[in-house]
Amino acid sequence: MESIFKLRYYQERLSNDAAETLHRKKLVCLFMEVRTGKTITALETCKKVNANRVLFITKIKAFSSIESDYKNFGYTYNLTIINRESLHKVETNDFDVVIIDEVHGYSSYPKPSKYHKDIKQRFGNIPMIMLSGTPTPESYSQYYHLFTLSNNNPFKEFANFYKWANKYVDIKQRNLGYAKVNDYSEARKKDFWHLIRYNILTYTQQQAGFTTSINEIVLECEMKPITYELVKKLQKDLVLISKDNKQVLADTGVKLQQKTHQLFSGTIKFEDGSYRVIDDTKACFIKHEFKGKKIGIFYKFVAELEMLKSVFGNELTTDLNEFNTTDKNIALQIVSGREGISLSKADYLIFMNIDFSAVSYFQARDRLTTMQRKENTIYWIFAKNGIEKKIYKAVQNKKDYTNDTFKKDFGIKDTKQDYKEIRSRRLLRN
């Protein structure tokens, strides 16, 4: 029986072009913006190259959407959908095509990630379709490991990233306080674009007919005095000790940055792995300000979800299907919820915290985009005089909020040395 579902005209054209590229080069990149239909274009491409067995590597939250597209469009080839953490469960490498969703997640540099090595070793010789709406959100240097997931990549003459960088990157040095390290972020895309351009197919929301605009509004709320007191004490002493003798250590710059981040949204994680809600101001603020609206709330830390559940009660779910079929609001973690899902039924998206990553910023904000709505609004809920607005400024400019930036913003110097001195003074007092 013929499917009643039809591809959009550009998806039909792109799948034709992708099938031709995959046939000739064994590698095609569908760098299509969010909601333009990367998944269905990739599935259709597999049909057009007469694939019998297809492996689709994606996030767990995207499984149901992919399965739905596969069934709705009547594809008959064998499709295996799996997340990268479970690839060891795939016993065979006998696939005709491998689809890698959100491929920018494998593009760390200068060294390849564990998952990059695993996929390249097992599936590198198989024709590959790569999907991403933001392939290089941080640096064009990400192109190297992105492409080298496939053994059919256009950078085969370079044995590793460092040799590639010697030719295509303006290598600089950064002073991290304890040592100078090479900075490989300034890759010259124009010098290697001719090598990769014929592997890439792009499509934007504007080309697809989207007229949606996204408005971003920052709302600040005054946290309880305890929050500011704890941040000040932690940055001074680099340690907090609760009344029940649980400890928070900030003996490195990275830990101090993370603990400061946690505190400004009202939670803290102790050294023993337990966590505690210190200040529920943000959750109460969201419930009051958006009463009567259907909202999607993004949180960062696990304790923030517990805070939201406590404040919202049975008005909140973490299940996408329940969100879509009831009046409940939904809470999703920024990293796990930023990719592969649509929150188009939400009146607003609310971010009660913000991730240090520019990738998270650009992908999570696009979860609201649809072809039917001309205007969407997302709200950022920040602590007044907190860390979040500083992070926001960085990621808007496509920069991660690094520890160096954090130290500069808060006037912090050699954290590890400071901690040693503070600890010595404490031992002497005891």
What's residue 367's pLDDT?
A: 57
Largest CA distance in the chain: 82
Q: How many CB atoms lie within 10 A of CB 327?
A: 7
Distances (CA, A) of 288 to 53, 218, 283, 284, 351: 51, 16, 9, 6, 15
| Helix runs in 290-414, H state only | 302-312, 320-325, 334-337, 358-365, 388-396, 403-410
The separation between CA 255 and the C-alpha centre of its own chain, rounded to angstroms, equals: 21
The closest alpha carbon to 60, from 104, 102, 95, 4, belongs to: 102
What's residue 43's pLDDT?
A: 98
CA distance 22 to 34: 22
Please give the structure tokens belonging to residue 32: 């299509």
What's residue 219's pLDDT?
A: 95
Q: Mind listing the pLDDT tens digit of every residue in the chain (430 residues)?
A: 456 688 999 999 999 999 999 999 999 999 998 778 999 999 999 999 999 999 999 998 889 889 999 999 999 999 999 999 999 999 888 999 999 999 998 999 999 999 999 999 999 999 999 999 889 888 899 999 999 999 999 999 999 999 999 999 999 988 766 678 899 999 999 999 999 999 999 998 888 877 666 788 999 999 999 999 999 999 999 999 999 999 999 988 889 999 999 999 999 999 999 999 999 999 999 999 999 999 999 999 999 999 999 999 999 999 988 998 999 999 998 876 555 567 778 888 899 999 887 777 776 666 555 545 556 788 999 999 999 999 999 888 878 888 888 988 898 876 555 555 555 444 434 4
What's residue 346's pLDDT?
A: 87
Q: How many CB atoms lie within 10 A of CB 424?
A: 10
Sign of torsion over alpha carbons 365, 367, 371, 373: negative
Domains in the chain with CATH codes: 9-203 (3.40.50.10810), 213-223+282-415 (3.40.50.300)
Burial (CB < 10 A; 0-12, 13-18, 19+), residue 113, is: middle
CA distance 73 to 68: 8
What's residue 366's pLDDT?
A: 64
Please give the structure tokens belonging to residue 54: 């297809």
